[in-house]
Amino acid sequence: MSIPRRIRHCRVCGTPVDYRVPPDDNRERALCPACGEIHYENPINVVGTLPVWGEQVLLCRRAIEPRYGFWTLPAGFLELGETSADGALRETDEEAGARVELEGLYTVIDVVRAGQIHLFYRARMRDTTLAPGPETLEARLFREDEIPWDEIAFRTVRQTLEHFFADRQRGEGYPLHEGAIA
């Protein structure tokens, strides 16, 4: 499988890189012809929450590209130095200003073509105070029959919501769901 060639210049010395298979490796990597640095690239973690208040779930309308104006669950890139749970809480605070308690990892979805893994936690909102950040046009609560299904930003968000409403309907708990976006 071909990999996206995202690195153009060496992060150490700035020389344009070559994509070649290093000795003792079996994949093309970004190699610096000047200093010999090998730049490894691996999938990025996107972490978020599914905040719940009674019968309602919290969605945020994006104020940034991609998918400007579409609705999403609060989520973003995991930072170095934080756990996935910490990152999910931070993104929920930054994007919605919502105060939540995590109730367990709920979906793990590979987005292979984008080189990402999306992880969503179920979360219980402590109150309905919201303070959307600069990446969010508006944040609000939706009942299941109010969800704007045609305006959901990402397939991982759609899948997470679908699992949640199906599990809630079934009434037998909220098991972890694994999946992949082809």
Total residues binding Zn ion (CB under 5 A) = 8
Segments of 54-155 assigned E as strands: 56-62, 71-72, 75-77, 100-111, 116-125, 136-142
Q: Which residue, 21 or 34, has its beta carbon nearer to Zn ion?
A: 34
The window from 32-40, 92-100, 148-156, 161-169 that contacts Zn ion (CB under 5 A) reads: 32-40
Distance between CA atoms of residues 156 and 137, nearest Å: 20
The number of beta carbons lying within 10 Å of the beta carbon of residue 172 is: 8
Q: Which is nearer to Zn ion, 10 or 78 (CB)?
A: 10
Among 3, 5, 9, 13, binds Zn ion (CB under 5 A): 13
- Looking at the Cβ atoms of 41 and 93, the one nearer to Zn ion is 41
Distance CA 151, CA 93 (A): 22
Rule CB under 5 A: is residue 35 a binding residue for Zn ion?
Answer: yes
Report if residue 34 touches Zn ion, rule: CB under 5 A: yes
- The alpha carbon of residue 160 and the mean position of all alpha carbons in its chain are separated, in whole angstroms, by 11
DSSP character for 168?
Answer: H
User: Is the Cβ of residue 32 or residue 130 nearer to Zn ion in the bound state?
Assistant: 32
**Helix then strand then coil, % of the chain, to nearest 5:** 20, 35, 40
To the nearest whole angstrom, how small is the minimum distance from the Cβ of residue 64 to Zn ion?
32
The answer to whether 176 contacts Zn ion (rule: CB under 5 A) is no
Q: Is 38 in the site for Zn ion (CB under 5 A)?
A: no
Residues that bind Zn ion (CB under 5 A): 10, 12-13, 15, 32, 34-35, 37
